[in-house]
Structure 1
């Protein structure tokens, strides 16, 4: 799988990553504190959601474009921002929008 572009927004933590192109990306470089680890954590979250149906999201949305086996895909997801009382009672996220296109 090769990531072509990635946009991520964590509304609860107020941390947006505007759409970033990963043309021939193979190294993430920057000074301390600019968000390299946050980008990797965001990508890891997307992978976790793709492989585990029980993952809870809270005010997260993303759009990721990638190629796999020479096919292009785009996955968008937006989850509701939930208050603490709902999070304590609920075992799943409220998905407001999701689209997977080829």
Structure 2
């Protein structure tokens, strides 16, 4: 299964370092079907790099209704910093 994400810095010219995003794929009852981590490269330090696409490959999981971001960290100055989940608005495309 391939789940695609478009990450956007909101146009504020303030970039993100490499991100690690922990995701849960859930069924219509809110039960977690699978939990995975997705990593991205740095992006968003200019209008040319405002967005980046990220992909999460997993085994095909049936009955996925929602994707929830449960943790996000950014690499900054050699350290991992937790990001508030409120900065994310998950919109995903899932293909099995």
TM-score normalized with structure 1 length: 0.27
Structure with the higher fraction of residues in strand conformation:
2
TM-score normalized with structure 2 length: 0.28
| Rg (Cα) greater in structure | 1
